[in-house]
Amino acid sequence: MTVETRQGIGGGHFAGLLLAPVRWAMNLIDRPMSFVQRRFGLGGVAAAFLAPNMLVFGIFVLFPMTLNVAYSFTGGGALFLNNRVFVGTLQYETLLACRDFLDAASCREDRFWRAVGNTGFFVVVQVTALVLVSLATALVLNREMRARGFWRAVFFFPVLLSPVVVALIWKWILQRNGLLNAALLELGFEPVLWLVNRGWAMFWAIFLSIWAHLGFYTLILLAGLQAIPRDLYEAAEMDGAPRWRVLTRITLPLLWPNMVVVILLALIRAVQVFDEVFVLTGGGPGTATLFLVQYIYETGLAQQVRNLGLASAASILMAVVLIVLTLIQLLASAWRERKEQR
Amino acid sequence: MSGIATFLTRRRGGASWHFTDVLAWIWLVAGLLLMFGPVIWLGLSSFKTRAALSEFPPTLLPYETAMVHVEGFDEPLPLYRVMMEDGEEHLLVQVRRIGTVAQMADPEAPEEIIRVPLTARQPVREIKLATENYSTPFKRYNFLRYFYNSVFVTVVATIITLIFNSMAAFALSKYQFKGRTAVLAIILATLMVPLSVIIIPLFSVINGLNLFNSLWGVILPTVATPTGVFLLRQYMLTIPDELLEAARMDHASEWKIYWRIVLPLAMPAVAVLAIFSVMWRWNDFLWPLIVLSDQELYTLQVGLNSFQGELNVQWHYVLAMTVVSMLPVVVIFAFLQRFITSGIASTGIK
For the cut 70, the answer to whether the pLDDT of residue A155 exceeds it is: yes
Establish if A26 touches chain B: CB-CB under 8 angstroms: yes
B97 confidence band (pLDDT: 50, 70, 90): confident
The answer as to whether A103 is a domain residue is no
**pLDDT digits 0-9 by tens, A285-334:** 989 999 999 999 999 888 888 889 999 999 999 999 888 888 888 788 78
* Burial label, B196 (beta-carbon count in 10 A; 0-12, 13-18, 19+): buried
Instruction: Taking residues B236-242, report their average pLDDT.
Output: 91
Q: How confident is the model at residue B13, as a pLDDT?
A: 53
Instruction: Give how far B299 is from chain A: nearest CA, Å.
Output: 12
Contact A206, A172 (CB under 8 A): no
Boundary residue ending a domain (B97, B127, B157): B127
Same-domain status, B222 and B77: no
Contact A291, A120 (CB under 8 A): no
**pLDDT digits 0-9 by tens, B45-81:** 999 888 778 777 787 888 777 777 777 777 788 888 8
* Phi and psi angles of residue B109, each rounded to the nearest 5 degrees, phi first: -130, 75
Residues counted in chain A: 342
Same-domain status, B172 and B121: no
Contact between A46 and B36 using a beta-carbon 8 Å cutoff: no
Q: How confident is the model at residue B149, as a pLDDT?
A: 95
What percent of chain B shows pLDDT beyond 90? 35
The answer as to whether B7 is a domain residue is no
Q: How confident is the model at residue A315, as a pLDDT?
A: 93
Contact B301, B288 (CB under 8 A): yes
Contact A296, A306 (CB under 8 A): no
Q: How confident is the model at residue A201, as a pLDDT?
A: 95
User: What CATH code is carried by the domain that includes residue A317?
Assistant: 1.10.3720.10
CB pairs under 8 A between A and B: 268
Boundary residue ending a domain (B127, B145, B166): B127
Q: How confident is the model at residue B211, as a pLDDT?
A: 93
Contact between A79 and B204 using a beta-carbon 8 Å cutoff: yes
Contact between B348 and A300 using a beta-carbon 8 Å cutoff: no
What percent of chain B shows pLDDT beyond 70? 94
- Of the listed ranges A230-239, B5-14, B205-214, B327-336, the least confidently predicted one is B5-14
Boundary residue ending a domain (B98, B127, B156): B127
Secondary structure class of B168 (helix, strand, coil): helix
Identify the sign of the CA torsion A198, A204, A206, A209.
Answer: negative
Contact between B220 and A60 using a beta-carbon 8 Å cutoff: yes
Instruction: Taking residues A79-85, report their average pLDDT.
Output: 83
**pLDDT digits 0-9 by tens, B316-345:** 899 999 999 988 888 888 888 777 777 777
The answer as to whether B255 is a domain residue is yes
B224 confidence band (pLDDT: 50, 70, 90): confident
Neighbours of B2 (CB within 10 A): 6
List chain A residues with CB under 8 Å of B332. 160
For the cut 90, the answer to whether the pLDDT of residue B302 exceeds it is: yes
Same-domain status, B117 and B174: no
Question: Of the candidates A155, A122, A131, which has an alpha carbon nearest to the alpha carbon of residue A274?
Answer: A122
The answer as to whether A238 is a domain residue is yes
Q: Which of A52, A65, A161 sits opposite B164 (nearest CB)?
A: A52
Q: How confident is the model at residue A51, as a pLDDT?
A: 92
Contacts of A201 (CB under 8 A, 6+ apart): A194, A195, A281, A284, A285, A288, A289
Contact between B329 and A160 using a beta-carbon 8 Å cutoff: yes
Contact between B283 and A149 using a beta-carbon 8 Å cutoff: no
Same-domain status, B159 and B277: yes
For residue B102, the enclosing domain spans 63-127
Instruction: Give how far B222 is from chain A: nearest CA, Å.
Output: 8
The answer as to whether A88 is a domain residue is no
Rounded to whole angstroms, the Cα distance separating B263 from B254 reads 12
Contacts of A112 (CB under 8 A, 6+ apart): A95, A295, A299, A314
For residue A155, the enclosing domain spans 112-341
C-alpha B248, offset from chain centre = 46
**pLDDT digits 0-9 by tens, A168-189:** 999 999 988 889 998 998 898 9
The model's pTM is: 0.84
List chain B residues with CB under 8 Å of A165. 304, 322, 325-326
Contact between B164 and A80 using a beta-carbon 8 Å cutoff: no
**Residue in A closest to B32 by C-alpha:** A154
Same-domain status, B191 and B303: yes
Hey, which residues 252-311 in chain A have their CB within 8 Å of chain B?
261, 265, 272, 274-275, 279, 282, 293, 296-297, 300-301, 308, 311
Same-domain status, B89 and B184: no
Q: Which of B18, B188, B197 sits opposite A319 (nearest CB)?
A: B197
Angle, CA of A246, A251 and A256, to the nearest 5°? 145
Question: Of the candidates B323, B320, B326, which has an alpha carbon nearest to the alpha carbon of residue B53?
Answer: B320
Same-domain status, A47 and A116: no
Q: Which of A54, A65, A172 sits opposite B319 (nearest CB)?
A: A172
Instruction: Give how far A71 is from chain B: nearest CA, Å.
Output: 7
Q: How confident is the model at residue B15, as a pLDDT?
A: 59
Same-domain status, B268 and B316: yes
Which of A57, A177, A217, A225 should we substitute to test contact with B (largest number of B Cβ atoms within 10 Å)?
Answer: A57
To the nearest 10 degrees (0 to 180), the angle between helices B180-190 and A13-57 is 90
List chain A residues with CB under 8 Å of B210. none
> Above 0.95 for ipTM, yes or no?
no
**Residue in A closest to B293 by C-alpha:** A302
A5 confidence band (pLDDT: 50, 70, 90): very low
Q: Which of A26, A80, A318 sits opposite B259 (nearest CB)?
A: A26
Boundary residue ending a domain (A27, A51, A75): A51
Q: How confident is the model at residue B188, as a pLDDT?
A: 79
Same-domain status, B168 and B241: yes
Q: How confident is the model at residue B2, as a pLDDT?
A: 59
Question: Of the candidates A318, A319, A310, which has an alpha carbon nearest to the alpha carbon of residue A90?
Answer: A310
**Residue in A closest to B168 by C-alpha:** A50
Same-domain status, B164 and B306: yes
Looking at the structure of chain A, the number of domains it has is 2
Contact between B345 and A49 using a beta-carbon 8 Å cutoff: no
List chain B residues with CB under 8 Å of A144. 12
The answer as to whether A87 is a domain residue is no
Which of B197, B210, B213, B214 should we substitute to test contact with A (largest number of A Cβ atoms within 10 Å)?
Answer: B197
The answer as to whether B22 is a domain residue is no
Instruction: Give how far A70 is from chain B: nearest CA, Å.
Output: 9
List chain A residues with CB under 8 Å of B220. 56, 59-60
Hey, which residues 28-57 in chain A have their CB within 8 Å of chain B?
29-30, 33-34, 37, 42-43, 45-47, 49-50, 52-54, 56-57
User: What CATH code is carried by the domain that includes residue B91?
Assistant: 2.30.30
Looking at the structure of chain B, the number of domains it has is 2
A4 confidence band (pLDDT: 50, 70, 90): very low
